[in-house]
Structure formats: C-alpha cells, structure tokens
Amino acid sequence: MASLCLSPLVRSPRGQWRETLPTCKLERYYLDDTDMTLHYSISGLEFFCSNSKTAVYKGSLKLPDQEDASVFEHEADMYEIHLRDLQDRVIPHCYGLFQYNAEDGKVSSFLVLGDCGSPIDDPRNFTNLYKSKVIDAVYFIHFAGFTHGDLSYHNILNKDGCPFIIDFETAKPHVCGVKEKLFIGEERKELGCTEMMRCAALVRAWANSYVKLEGIYTFLRVDLRRGNMDYLLSHLRHCNSDPTVYRPYVEQLVEQVEARRERYRNIPLEERLIVPE
Ligand SMILES: [Zn+2]
C-alpha cells in the first residue's frame, strides 16, 4: 500500500481554508489493481491558491526511500524463494523480512536469520575437509541458479565446523559453467566460473603455485614437467656456470610434482563429474 505524509500544518494566509492538513499517513487511492509499498512525503507546504471547492498547496516531495527496502526485499527473496531448499544446509534459516514504516515515511527493514556462527578468518587454519565444505556450499548456490556476487571472508560464517553463506544483496541469476569438481590441493586449473575461481582462491584450495628447490631456486609449479629440463636448468645459470650439476635435484623435484599431478588426473571420471542435485 503506497502512502503519503504531509508536513508541516498549513493555514491559508487569508483565512479561507482554516482547517489543518492531516498529519497521519494518507493511503494512496488506486484506479486499478496496482498496489506498491512506496512511502512518499511532502514537506515545507505552502498555500498556493484556491477556489470554492479545492485548495492548491506547494511543497517539496521526497521520493520513496526504496533503496533500503528493495535491497532487503531482494535478499529476502533469495532466502525465502530462490535458495529456500538450501536453508539450514548452506545458508541460514530465514524467519522473514519485517518492516517498520516511520512517521516520516522512512522504511526500516529487518531480515531475521538463524544464528550461524562467526565469519571465517585465516584460511591457513582450514582443514582440507573444511575447504571442500566451503566450495560445496558455493556450488550448491550456483547450481540453484545464482551467483553470490560478493564472496568474501565476511560473508562465510562458521558454525560447528559447517560453513554458511550469507549476504545475498548482490546475488544474480547464473548458469554455472563448472563441469568437474575441484579437488583440494590439485594444481590450479580453469573451472569455467569466475566466482568459483574466486572461491577456490579465497580458501586456498589449489596447490602452491611455487615450488622451492631448497636453498637454490623457486620454480613455478606449472613449469615443473618432464621434457622441460633444459628450460628449468636455464634458470639456474646464475648459481653455477654449469647448471647441469643441479640436474638430479631438479629431476627429483619434477618427479614429485608429476606424481602428484598424476594422482589427481587418475581420479575416476564418476568422482570428478559434478551431478547437481
Ligand atoms: Zn558458477
């Protein structure tokens, strides 16, 4: 129901209109079935002119304070409609959106959610299991057809070892391009979804991008491949005019990285493929 508030009280300077204007909230009269919750107010009213049946006043119209309310309405829609099935699993239980219409026409909105703990902090403290749970929580939201839009530590709460995602102010419809699961500790790969890549980086899901040959050099993990030995040794010329002396050590490092790569590559396809619920 749209409403209008008038202030201050105005009297006609010439006394034709002695009655005061109402200060209570006026409800909008609709000519059709349209009904919107918008609250207008007009301040600084002055008498403008009149005839025998009507009077005209002039004042400043304050447009509806929609932003606060609509932001919450969008968020409430996310909890109560679009992601309803994820309540109590990866998003908090939502008890509803409550609104208070103040005298000045301002709308205060309160979205009431179940307690889901505190925001997560340092991902170095996360176990691989916890990292997987965060990734899965975001997958669920994506496969329900939405991106979060503002994924950060502040918007991931931890309750008894379970992550809950909050703050869907900027959530948008989304068709997720992720086809295969991300396994914690595997080498960084393209997932086909920007927000999932962000999520993986946030929880430090990938293997470290750098690998140290202790005391000598730090290689990029992606460079450590069989068949790439000459290129790898060329980085060590500054340590020794004959970098081939390091060959056995570099080969050992390459074998470690390749073995790990192989382990992830050999995960059966049925475990890798994502089947949205
Ligand atoms: Zn996605």
CATH number at residue 73: 1.10.510.10
Query: If you measure from the C-alpha of residue 143 to the centroid of ligand 1, how many angstroms do you get, rounded to a whole number?
Result: 7
Question: Same domain, yes or no, for 109 and 235?
Answer: no
Rounded to whole angstroms, what are the CA distances from 109 to 41, 87, 103, 112? 18, 20, 15, 10
Centroid of ligand 1 to alpha carbon of 145 (angstroms): 8
219 shares a domain with 151: no
How many separate domains does the chain show?
3
Predicted confidence at residue 127, as pLDDT, reads 92
Question: What does the alpha-carbon distance between residue 167 and residue 252 come to, in Å, rounded to a whole number?
Answer: 47
Distance of CA 207 to CAs 151, 222, 242, Å?
21, 11, 31
Q: Are residues 130 and 98 in the same domain?
A: yes
Q: How far is the CA of 245 from the centre of ligand 1 (A)?
A: 47
Q: Which of 64, 79, 105 delimits the end of a domain?
A: 64
What tokens does 64 get? 């509806």
pLDDT of residue 33: 64
Per-residue pLDDT at 9: 52
The DSSP call for residue 223 is G
Residue 126 contacts residue 84 (beta carbons within 8 Å): no
Q: What is the Å distance from ligand 1's center to 141 Cα?
A: 8
Give the list of residues 6+ apart from residue 200 with CB closer than 8 angstroms, or none: 135, 182, 188, 191, 206
Query: For position 158, what pLDDT does the model report?
Result: 94
In angstroms, the CA 186 to CA 189 distance is 8
Q: Are residues 188 and 215 in the same domain?
A: no
Q: Tens of pLDDT along 244-275?
A: 899 999 999 999 999 999 999 898 888 887 76
Same domain, 110 and 77: yes
Q: Spell out, as residue ranges, where the chain has pLDDT lower than 50.
A: 18, 67
Residue 53 φ/ψ region, left for φ over 0, alpha for ψ in the -120 to 50 degree band, beta for the rest: alpha
Q: Do residue 184 and residue 98 come from a single domain?
A: yes
Measure the CA–CA gap between 110 and 112, rounded to whole angstroms. 6
Within a domain: 189: yes
The pLDDT value given to residue 86: 96
CA–CA distance, 78 with 113 (Å, rounded to integer): 12
Same domain, 71 and 188: yes
Distance 115 CA to ligand 1 centre (A): 26
Identify whether 274 is part of a domain. no
201 CA distance to ligand 1 middle (Å): 14
Q: Name the domain boundary from 206, 227, 250.
A: 206
Which phi and psi angles does 17 have, rounded to 5°? -115, 85
- Whole-number Å distance, alpha carbon 235 to ligand 1 midpoint, is 38
What separation in Å is there between the alpha carbon of 173 and the centre of ligand 1? 10
Residue ending a domain, among 13, 41, 64, is: 64
In a domain, 275, yes or no: no
Domain of residue 196: give its range: 67-206
